[in-house]
Structures are given as C-alpha cells and as structure tokens.
Amino acid sequence: MSNFMKVEFSAKSENESFARTTVAAFIAQLDPTVEELTEIKTVVSEAVTNAIIHGYEENEEGTVLIECELKDQDISLTIRDFGNGIEDVDEAIQPMYTSKPELERSGMGFTIMENFMDHFEIESIPNHGTTVTLRKKFLNNQSAYN
C-alpha cells in the first residue's frame, strides 16, 4: 500500500489541533495501535507548535506545510515552515533548551520527536525556515497483541 497527502495552513495556534487530527485521520488506514497513534499526534503537535511559536513568532501570516507519505507500514512526515529558522540546531535539540523561557516552555519538543520516531532529522536555514523529517515503522496491529 502507498498513499500521500499534503496540507498547508496558516500559522495560527488553533490550527495545531487541525494538523494533529488531519494526520491521525490519514494514518488510520494503517490500523495503528493506540500508542502509535498517540505518538504520531504528539510529534505533529510538537512540530507544528514549534513552527508557529519559534518559526513565525506567532505571526499568523506565515504558513506551515505538512506532507505525509505511507508505504506499507512505514510513515514519513515532513513539517516545514518558512520562518526564522534556527541559528544553532545542535543547541536547539538539547533536552530542556528553549529560546523562549518567558513562555514557560519545557524545551522538550525535539527530544519527544526523536524518542517517539525511528528517524528524526532537522534542517534549518536562518531567515528561510525549518524542515523536520520524521519516519516510523508501524507494527502490524495484529502482531502487537501476540
């Protein structure tokens, strides 16, 4: 089985739940376990929130692009913004690092993405945006109970 979707939306905080729900509905055809579905929804939420808060600094005129590809039991997600970019990616991916401590953020978004997925990659160009690529192989739901 192979399938693909692409969705672009305004960088508004209320669209984070739209993105999470859209990806969850799309991957439902793989019959994911509850744990797999929860993990995917969480990483989408983290990536989209980062794009809105850090990429665009909550400037709602920006756009966020999500691409999702399914091949057999593999999911590939790309979340992209065209905003500020990240000056130092190595620093940004450190657990507990946050560029906005005044917002009382935990700085765990990238760590969560890395731990929930089989593959985590981030590419960023200052003043041009950030692309997060995530991949995961789903268990065959039936074998999850054997």
What's the pLDDT at 88?
75
Indicate the pLDDT class of residue 108, thresholds 50, 70 and 90: confident
Active site residues: 46, 50, 105
User: Which pTM value belongs to this model?
Assistant: 0.86
Per DSSP, 66 falls in state E
Query: Which class is domain 2-145?
Result: alpha beta
- Taking residues 22-46, report their average pLDDT: 96
- Distances in Å between the Cα of 87 and the Cα atoms of 4, 55, 59, 81, 125 are 31, 11, 19, 15, 7
Whether residue 71 has pLDDT greater than 90: yes
Q: In this structure, how many other beta carbons lie within 10 angstroms of the beta carbon of residue 26?
A: 19
Per the rule left: phi > 0, alpha: psi between -120 and 50, beta: everything else, 72 is left
Give me the residue spans of the domains in the chain: 2-145
Class of residue 130 by CB neighbours under 10 A (exposed 0-12, middle 13-18, buried 19+): buried
3-state class (DSSP) for residue 140 = coil
